[in-house]
Chain A
Amino acid sequence: MSWRSSPEAGNSPDGDLLVGLLAVVGGTRPDADVGLIGRAYDFAARAHAGQSRKTGDPYISHPVAVAAILVQAGADDQTLCAGLLHDTPQGGSYSLAALRGEFGADVTRLVTGVAALDDGFGTGQPGSRADGPATEPTPDLRVSMIKLADRLHNLRTAGPLPPATQLSKSRETLEVLVPLAASLGLDAIRTELAELAARMISGHAASRASPSGRLLAAAAALLPRTARSRWRDEWAGELAALPTRRGRAVFTARTLAGIPRLRVTLRRPPRADGTRR
């Protein structure tokens, strides 16, 4: 494939990002216009030059990840490019006119559509519009896909955000974006969004937990690593439903007593079909 020998790909320190993206594209949509994708990457990389994310990664890593999610969701070339470019209007140094000149009206409309969608939900007061949500125009399918991919990557990398932001983004995701993904039939995105948001909300509750909750959360560290967060969340869920401090203390003491046994159980390899170890 021609893009593999593309001289630009390895030039910048972040060129690996483009190579990675093109590998995903090549594996999923061999017919994609890699020249167009490369140009969109270059444009975005210039617009976001010197910017970094809260995670410490160069900013360009975000639009690239969004584009990769879009490829896997079956997006077309224009949507993919708009995904790469979706934050460039906020980058400041590049005007919409430049965007239109370089990529045409279709891609530009998708990029501005995502920004318009951001203003359209979550921040608006539900009561401020007399007509209510029923008359809100259905967002363009491709704009919605970009927005969903954007949120998915933001949630995947939300760790460094303040808890209050994580919580509000998670709520908005469950209330608005998960139903949107479901209505578009984007099942993989819907499932992951719902899981990330629910985990974030539950983790938030656990971090505000009682002394009992903190004790159990600490004790979960005795379990195999892959099982820890599941049991920590499970116990936080049970604790939160117990009304009295005494009830929580009893639950905690009894659950702690079972941790050595749980640890042994979880360390047993899963059964090989039909055979006892």
Chain B
Amino acid sequence: MTPGPRLTLQVQLVLAALLSEPARDYYGLQLCELTSLPSGTIYPFMARLEQLGWVESSWEDPRRHVPEGRPRRRYYRLTGEGAGQAREALARVRRPGRRPRYGLVTWPGIAEVTR
């Protein structure tokens, strides 16, 4: 088992957001909106998750941003390995018998993960 990031509540929020649609690409600001975390928190997390191989990032396809006349965005997506590791990690901190924290468990991504 590869050691993962420290599973602070904030990291759990980010992982849950990514897992809500594991095959989707997210840019940083989308993750800020989904988690209500500031960009100054999200970017270091994403850099760490990328180092760990849980997440990969890539530039937006020029065919999308060039016609719109704006600079390219960076997109993040869970890797196959990362999605599995993130599910396991979230399940571990939310194992049965441990009282779920109100507010987190009602979060759509978590409900899916713990099911």
State the A residues within 8 Å of B (CB).
171, 174, 178, 194-195, 197-198, 201-202, 205-206, 230-231, 233-234, 236-238, 240-242, 251, 254-259, 261-262, 264-266, 268, 270-271, 273-276
| A-B pairs, 9 with minimum CB distance | A258-B40, A205-B71, A202-B71, A254-B38, A234-B74, A237-B73, A257-B40, A261-B44, A276-B3
- What is the interface of chain B, defined by CB distance below 8 A to chain A? 2-3, 27-29, 38-44, 47-48, 51-53, 59-60, 62-63, 65-66, 70-74
Closest to A237 in B: B73
* Chain A residues whose C-beta falls within 8 Å of the C-beta of B63 in the assembled complex: 174
Could you tell me if A233 and B71 are in contact, using CB atoms closer than 8 angstroms? yes
Residues A256 and B71 in contact in the complex (CB < 8 Å), given A238-B29, A266-B47, A274-B2? no
Complex-state Cα separation, A165 to B2, whole angstroms: 48
Q: Which of B38, B47, B59, B60 contacts A265 (CB 8 A)?
A: B47
What is the count of residue pairs linking A and B with beta-carbon distances less than 8 angstroms?
97
- Are A240 and B71 neighbours in the complex by a CB distance under 8 Å? yes
A238 to B74, CA, bound (A): 8
Q: Tell me the minimal C-beta distance from A12 to chain B in angstroms.
A: 40
A245 to B64, CA, bound (A): 24
The residues of A that contact B27 with a CB separation of less than 8 Å are 237-238
29 A–B contact pairs at CB < 8 A? Answer: A171-B66, A174-B66, A201-B65, A201-B66, A202-B65, A202-B71, A206-B71, A231-B43, A234-B28, A234-B43, A234-B74, A237-B27, A237-B72, A238-B28, A240-B70, A254-B39, A255-B40, A255-B43, A257-B40, A258-B38, A258-B40, A258-B42, A258-B44, A262-B43, A264-B44, A268-B48, A270-B51, A274-B3, A276-B3
* Cα–Cα, bound, A156→B66 (Å): 20
Please, which residues of chain B bring their CB within 8 A of the CB of A201?
62, 65-66, 71-72
Which of A236, A241, A258, A264 is the most central at the interface, judged by chain B CB atoms within 10 Å of its CB? A258
Residues of B within 8 A of A195 (CB): 59
- Bound Cα distance from A195 to B62, whole angstroms: 9
Evaluate contact between B73 and A241: CB separation under 8 angstroms.
yes
Determine the chain A residues whose CB is within 8 A of the CB of B41 once the complex forms. Answer: 258
Q: How far is the CB of A157 from chain B (nearest CB, A)?
A: 20
Q: Which of A171, A194, A237, A255 contacts B70 (CB 8 A)?
A: A237
Partner of B39, one of A230, A258, A264, A276: A258
Chain A contacts of B44 at CB under 8 A? 258, 261-262, 264-265
Question: What residues on A are CB-neighbors of B38 within 8 Å?
Answer: 254, 257-258
Which chain A residues border B52 with CB–CB below 8 Å?
271
